[in-house]
Amino acid sequence: MPVRRHFKSTISVVNMPGAASAIAMEYVQKQPADGYTLLGLTSELVSNQLQGRTSYNHRDFTPIIRAHVDIGMIQGGPKSPFKNWNGLVAFAKKGERKVRLGGTGAASFDQIASMIILDSAGIADKVTYIPFDSAGEMHAQLLGGHLDAMYEEPGVTLSLIEAGKMIPLIVFLKERLKKFPDVPSAGELGYDIPPMMWRGIVVKKGTPQAVVDRLEEGYIKAMKSSMYQAFEKERMLDMFPGFLGSKDFAADLEREYGLYKNVLKKLGQ
């Protein structure tokens, strides 16, 4: 890994699944604030405390970098009773049954982002959100016709989309993606645009500034490597500028906290 080469030291990656990263957050807070324990996580850093999963929030951590953001999308499958976004809305409003929408995790980012779009379309009460523990299981359920649609990033299912097995219905952006010119955007339809799912690195608050600066420098150099840039392109993570340095990342977390607080209150979460 480029980061490992830059620091010339061993970096051990420990996966701590469960509670939308709250378990990992709790673990990091029990370690010394010396920069030797880093936390790689997503937007759950902001939403976990608001949803009562942990007593810690984004202000208990010092951001290092935000690497990129994922582009949200609702996708249909080969057995879905609609083939485009207008079809999904029409099917939902017809009311023969509720639309079965999959996402990873209950009260998760997937659900929050999807419900913002569904509420804007006036069909939130006509959709049943079904949480899954793994994306693979969710994909299988959509392909098998047990789901009508799902929340997913296009980079994850690109090969299935190109094979015609997944159908992109709407993208959660202000404008359409060049990669999917026929797929409408939330912005063009006048919908509220949900926050994006990001991935970044943080450390425990109180870590010396010199250490924070050193870590930020290392990650920035790693992100400029051909290895990382190839990964971003392959996963379609380069379609929207997502990088933020430590100070800008901290400011954006404050903005997001206010946004999530309002959204969760509106959704009754």
Q: pLDDT over 90 for what percent of the chain? A: 62
Judge whether 93 and 123 are in contact, CB under 8 Å.
yes
Looking at the structure, tell me whether residues 34 and 6 fall in a common domain.
Answer: yes
pLDDT digits (tens, 9 = 90+) for 1-48: 566 666 767 788 888 876 668 889 999 999 999 999 999 988 888 888
> What is the per-residue pLDDT for 3?
67
Residue 204 · residue 62 · CB < 8 Å: yes
Q: Are 59 and 90 contained in the same domain?
A: no
| 124 or 240: which leads in pLDDT | 124
Read off the CATH number of the domain in which 225 is found: 3.40.190.150
Contact 74, 43 (CB under 8 A): no
Over residues 245-253, mean pLDDT: 94
Range of the domain at 151: 73-171
Tell me the pTM.
0.75
78 lies in the same domain as 161? yes
Count: domains in the chain: 2
Digit-coded pLDDT (tens) for 111-150:
889 988 999 999 999 999 999 999 999 999 999 999 999 9
Q: What is the rounded distance in angstroms from the CA atom of residue 200 to the CA atom of residue 179? A: 25
